[in-house]
Chains A and B, each alone.
Chain A
């Protein structure tokens, strides 16, 4: 079970974001994508997630082209974008229960997620009344609802407080320990053991 990127080319307009980009990601590895603003981190994540077609090259999942195995791939995948994908008029619990209904695994529950992220006291609060940090916590809590083997995270630590970041890091370490893979774009220092981390820096 590997994620393999081969000779990836991508342009934005007439400008090359990256060319001939290749790497392989094994289980228990975290790919940390670094680079300045506008260097194409989000675009790379979108390509790896199969949301966007590259201008050249391809992504392979279990040795097969992504668009051939996308139906299998998407059940293994958890995506956390820039935005939190939370509806402001729904409560914490309602947002998570929509995610649960949309997820593949039936045995998952949202109670652990709510408790783990310290959201119990606010579970009936509408999302529009939460602070930015709490919203991000809630979005991250979504990752542990249902099974998955690949996480693709775009700046996950944005607006989290220290405790939140710690929680995120321990959760990610647990996931890696169980054989998960993480692709993550970030600007912030990450205190996860170095043996897990594989770095990729995008530069123009």
Chain B
């Protein structure tokens, strides 16, 4: 109930537009602080890995990107539920914005993973469970974007991708476990670099900082995209007209 009230409160596109505008500078500041902390910690202070040497430092991009690829899908699915049940415009707008950002992060995770894999495993790609399900996730994102673009009417498009997102959200754990299972059935488990029992705190803290920095970046990017999209969709409403007049006078 609290959630619904809160949603209704910031649900109007105008409020959300202003809200995003107000928070973006602060979030950007936070992002740069966290990013510099994380990068300094990760690239300078953290000791080199005893097996991998300095090559492991790509972890500070790769792992947060992989986290984000899933986190964004969760955010997107939450928006899809809200869009389908309450038909809240802001949620409808957010789905497609999330899909674009999510696709970029997934792509980043795959590329950095591949770059990391070459020196470590000696191959750019292996049919490992994580890699495969990440690749499928990328295709899901791309499918969502393609479906959105196929519709003329953007509100219908948003509702269509909301359905697809939810079908996908049921499938993601299934895909993930099926791939894990398929993998373990066919070949010995690939050594997973993430399952080390413990990681040096000097390595871990920058990683977490980078994780938070990436999520802050996600929200900044989401806000900017959502603002843009809201302006386009609400072009005909009074407040947008006033805003345009105000900006063109200034």
Tell which of B152, B155, B235 touches A53, judged by Cβ atoms closer than 8 Å.
B155
* Chain A residue at minimal CB-CB distance from B232: A14
A-B pairs with lowest CB-CB distance, top 4? A14-B235, A11-B236, A16-B236, A13-B152
Interface residues of B in 125-173 (CB under 8 A from A): 152, 155
Q: What separation, in Å, do the CA atoms of A11 and B155 have in the docked complex?
A: 12
Chain A contact residue count (CB 8 A cutoff): 6
Query: By DSSP majority rule, is chain A's interface helix, strand, loop, or mixed?
Result: loop
Interface residues of B in 182-213 (CB under 8 A from A): none
Binary flags per residue of A1-34, CB closer than 8 Å to B gives 1, else 0: 0000000000101101000000000000000000
Shortest CB–CB separation between residue B89 and chain A, in angstroms? Answer: 11
* Chain A residue at minimal CB-CB distance from B155: A53
Shortest CB–CB separation between residue A8 and chain B, in angstroms? Answer: 14
Q: Which of B152, B155, B235, B236 has the most CB of A within 10 A?
A: B236
A residues apposed to B, CB below 8 Å: 11, 13-14, 16, 53, 55
* Chain B residue at minimal CB-CB distance from A53: B155
Q: Which residues of B contact A55 (CB under 8 A)?
A: 236
Q: Which residues of B contact A53 (CB under 8 A)?
A: 155
Q: Which residues of B contact A13 (CB under 8 A)?
A: 152
Q: Which residues of A contact B155 (CB under 8 A)?
A: 53
Q: Which residues of A contact B152 (CB under 8 A)?
A: 13
Shortest CB–CB separation between residue B92 and chain A, in angstroms? Answer: 12
Shortest CB–CB separation between residue B100 and chain A, in angstroms? Answer: 21
Shortest CB–CB separation between residue B240 and chain A, in angstroms? Answer: 12
Listed by A's residue number, 7 A-B pairs whose Cβ atoms lie within 8 Å are: A11-B236, A13-B152, A14-B235, A14-B236, A16-B236, A53-B155, A55-B236
* Chain B residue at minimal CB-CB distance from A9: B236
Q: What separation, in Å, do the CA atoms of A53 and B158 have in the docked complex?
A: 14
Q: Which residues of A contact B235 (CB under 8 A)?
A: 14
* Chain B residue at minimal CB-CB distance from A55: B236
